[in-house]
Amino acid sequence: MASIFQRIGALSSSTTLDTKKFHLSSPRSLLERKVSFLVVRSDAAKINSGVNRIGGRAHHLVANAVATKADTSAESTASKSGHEILLYEALKEGLEEEMERDARVCVMGEDVGHYGGSYKVTKGLAPKFGDLRVLDTPIAENAFTGMGIGAAMMGLRPIIEGMNMGFLLLAFNQISNNCGMLHYTSGGQFKIPVVIRGPGGVGRQLGAEHSQRLESYFQSIPGIQMVACSTPYNAKGLMKAAIRSDNPVILFEHVLLYNLKETIPDEEYVLNLEEAEMVRPGQHVTILTYSRMRYHVMQAAKTLVNKGYDPEVIDIRSLKPFDLHTIGNSIKKTHRVLIVEECMRTGGIGASLTAAINENFQDYLDAPIVCLSSQDVPTPYAGTLEEWTVVQPPQIVAAVEQLCQ
Amino acid sequence: MASSCLTKSKNFIIYNLKSKSSFTDRISAFTNSLFHHRLLHTISPLPVRKHAAYSRVNRTDDSQRFFELAYVQRRLHSTVSVSSDVTQLPVESPSLQILDFPGGKVKFTKKLSFTSNSTEERVHCYRVLDDNGQLFTDVDSLEISKELAIKMYTNMVTLEVMDTVFYESQRQGRISFYATTTGEEAINIASAAALNDNDFVFPQYREPGVLLWRGFTLQEFANQLFGNKHEYGKGRQMPIHYGSRKLNYFTVASTVATQIPHAVGAAYSLKMEKQDSCVITYFGDGGTSTADFHAAMNFAAVLEVPVIFFCRNNGWAISTPVNEQFRSDGVVVKGKAYGVPSIRIDGNDALAIYNAVYEARKMAIKEQTPVLIEALTYRAGHHTTSDDSTRYRSVEEIERWRGDQNPVKRFRAWIEGRGWWNGVAESEYRSSIRKQVAQVIQVAERVEKPPVADMFNDVYDVPPTNLNEQEAFVQKTVKKHRQDYPSDVPL
């Protein structure tokens, strides 16, 4: 039903669009698949549609551009009641609910069983579901990723945990050549509904090898989907959506976000994997970000509002494919884009996003796209150096000021 | 000799004597159960005295009892050794004999010696038919029926003929690529014959015979080779990358040995769902060098899943001979390293293969264990049509293996010996198959290729926007420049 509203909105804005370049088909075409469960769109969708606008909420957000956690929870709670939860607990809740719902869902990874996972996302699941269903594996990422693929082809729905995303580089062959490909090369005979998840990103002095941003390496692989969660609300929703999806999905979590607290709804909800999240509507500039950088952006937004700017912040969430619909609508409004990412400059998500936006929305840009990323260096261990490899709020403020000149 | 015995291993004699006495057995068992690392560190090996005084230091109950018992043991030791040996042998403190490390008890030795890199004798190879196809007497073998034997033999012949004709068709430019299973027909057919249809197969790429056994038709093979619209892979993979969900045969991927962890995962799902079937995965000698093989073997052993690891050790990995692939005694010894029961069999002996796989399957399902089978054979053909193996091995060697050791010939000798087959049947069957294969090639060649739309389907369950765009772009381009695109590819 929301899809109809979306198309109306799309049509009205597409009259001036060069249809040769980009057919503004709604990403809701992805919903051709049968949706039998309740899919709650983020309020962003409701705001974007021409009808059913929760205008009051939007005005509130503009007035109070305070980048506290209360802000993010404002748009996420669909009901008055809810329960407070930490992000890693939200992931666990989503995981547990799916495991209860479908007996084919299982978890495999290093130390996920009785140890409960290195970040406690699977704590308590092994005693509850048994240690065959929550499987502790020996240290061989290629093998247990391969195992997950084999089990998925047989009908199970495994969740493969990389203790740290960086370790999944060892499983690259299985992920790229088999996970992404076998549905295609088998002519659709075998499907691979795996979820590959784990913590990644730059943490607090974890060293170069444990501070990898794997989204940039995986983004080319055809056949997989990538999503990045950033709040307890979207973490649970994306986890559930990823498990229910028949495609292989890579869910990127961030090491430093596991202890974020938020109130999430009591009732069941599943988010849309291909949708971006409107964090803060605005008029002057579109800031696209995801994962931990969202919080740096919101912090910068505080400063920017005080300086009189009105940034629109979108958490893109879906890293493959990009939600060009939400992004496009935002660009048509603001005409200026700033991308803030944690990936390295070369070949990161920002680089792809820049190319995609340039290709599709060239006519709507008043200024070249600015992309703030980490430098092309291995993450140093020293705390002070590490802090400066990632994009910091002052840099974001400066970039917006420059962009809006 | 007696004296050298005594001097060599005093430890041994004492331990031996100890084990003869049931009382000491019980004591040592009790002592061992109280053995903790902590305690061990707190006890230094006490010198043995005949009438040692019991320590009067105030300790906890446990350690007191421990000391007491350890002490009792020592006293018993000294008593025993004194009474039975001529010379006074210094008694070893029991704390040095066995230790309960993480992973289990280990016996110590004072000898500094390394295990050899190889055993004197290689692991023996199980076979039931001799070089001339005669069944040995007194052999561990199942009786197979005439019907089964004929089915096995005819399938082997079909595979052989199919390989020849398809190979030729590649040489004539009708298909782009092919890989034969020449020399490995017995492995293909006999292993498939010993399995049930609901056992899952994860192949490498030299096992089309398993599909053939299960009912994949010659036409279906040809369709895949030509990549036409009837083939199950929808024209997306290279020739010989067959796959059939219906026949429980997972699509071949070009990557070497990646199917081995998949097989373990599949076996894990069977174990989770408590199904009465197993998984089999095939790979070559070259595949055993990969990381995936080793990790998967280890996993299978730890998880205790019903999977048969079938290694076709055919002597060559493209141009790399086995002695440049590994230095172990083949692949069978690797099973022991991972705690997987293993066997080495004659891969050119159809009956041996049948027996081994049949038993392995029973074992895998009943005991929920992986099993490793190393089948020694020879890759009598080239690696693929892109290879000319005479560049790295002698023609004589190839001819020799195509001759007497040819698995089809050996099985034929046996089946003819039983009176179930003869020369007339042979020539009739071969010419019939040849005609059929030629026929299916002609038919497959003329079928349309899959449409362009199939290039974008199945990447995901539902095509996302960007793929729809890309497809629209391709469609438009092709329509605009129709003459530049192949005419037999529909849109």
Touching check for B449 and chain A: CB below 8 Å?
Answer: no
A78-92, A218-232, A326-340, B81-95: lowest mean pLDDT where? B81-95
- pLDDT of A319 above 60: yes
Q: Which of B436, B433, B446 is nearest to B230 (CA)?
A: B446
Average confidence (pLDDT) over B91-97: 59
| Average pLDDT, integer, range B333-342 | 96
Check residues A39 and A308 and name the one with the higher pLDDT.
A308
Contact A146 B457 (CB under 8 A): no
Residue B262 has its nearest CB partner, among A150, A181, A246, at A150
At residue A1 the predicted structure's pLDDT band, cuts being 50, 70 and 90, is very low
Chain centroid to CA B396: 30
Q: State the pLDDT at residue B488.
A: 74
Return mean pLDDT, chain A.
83
Name which of B233, B303, B465 is nearest A187 (Cβ-Cβ): B233
What pLDDT score was predicted for residue A131? Answer: 85
Q: How far are the Cα atoms of A197, B84, B292 from residue A218, in angstroms, in the given order?
A: 13, 73, 20
- Looking at residue B27, its pLDDT comes to 45
Q: Under a CB-based contact definition with an 8 Å cutoff, are residues A317 and A275 in contact? A: yes
DSSP-based three-state secondary structure for A31 = helix
pLDDT value at position B59? 42
B125/chain A closest Cα distance in angstroms: 30
Is 0.95 topped by the overall pTM?
no
Checking if the pLDDT of B263 tops 50, the result is yes
pLDDT number for residue A50: 36
**pLDDT greater than 50 at residue A401:** yes
Could you tell me what percent of chain B has a pLDDT over 70? 80
Contact B255 A178 (CB under 8 A): yes
pLDDT mean over A217-231: 95
- Cβ contact, residue pair B459, A22, below 8 Å: no
Query: What's the confidence (pLDDT) of residue A34?
Result: 45
**Cα–Cα distance measured from residue A288 to residue A318, given in angstroms and rounded to the nearest whole number:** 11
B13 — pLDDT class (breaks 50, 70, 90)? very low
- In this model, does residue B153 exceed pLDDT 80? yes
Q: Name the amino acid, one letter, at A319.
A: L
* pLDDT band (50, 70, 90) for residue B437: very high
ipTM over 0.95? The verdict is: no
pLDDT digits (tens, 9 = 90+) for B36-92: 444 334 444 444 444 444 444 444 444 444 444 344 444 444 444 444 444 555 555
- Please state the length of chain A: 405
Kindly state the average pLDDT of the residues A224-228.
96
Question: In which region does residue B339 sit, left (phi positive, over 0), alpha (psi from -120 to 50) or beta (all else)?
Answer: left
Q: What is the C-alpha to C-alpha distance for residues A53 and A47, in angstroms, rounded to an integer?
A: 5
Give the per-residue pLDDT at A129: 94
Helices (H) and strands (E) in chain B, counts: 17, 9
Please report the residues numbered 226 through 245 in chain B whose beta carbons come closer than 8 angstroms to any beta carbon of chain A: 231-234, 236-237, 241, 243-245
Give how far Cα A276 sits from Cα of A51, B297, B462, Å.
19, 42, 19
Residue A170: DSSP 8-state: G
User: Where does the pLDDT of residue B93 fall: very low under 50, low under 70, confident under 90, or very high at 90 and above?
Assistant: low
Measure the CA–CA gap between B289 and B238, rounded to whole angstroms.
24
pLDDT at B464: 87
- Residue of A99 and A71 predicted with greater confidence: A99
H/E element holding B201?
Answer: strand B200-202
Instruction: Give the range among A7-11, A334-338, A367-371 with minimum mean pLDDT.
Output: A7-11
The residue from B127, B206, B230, B379 that is catalytic is B379
Least confident span in A265-269, B58-62, B198-202, B330-334? B58-62
Helices B146-171, B185-194: axis angle to 10 degrees equals 140
Q: What is the pLDDT of residues B14-38, one digit of tens each?
A: 334 444 444 444 444 444 444 444 4
Give percent of chain A above pLDDT 70.
80
Output B405 or B334, whichever has higher pLDDT: B334
For residue B188, give both structure tokens: 């293909």
Say which residues have a Cβ less than 8 Å from residue B300's Cβ, sequence separation at least 6. Answer: B264, B267, B307, B309, B338, B340, B370
The predicted model gives A219-230 an average pLDDT of: 95
**Cis, bond preceding A321 (omega within 30 deg of 0):** yes
pLDDT(B241) > 90 = yes
The reported pLDDT for the residue numbered A118 is 87
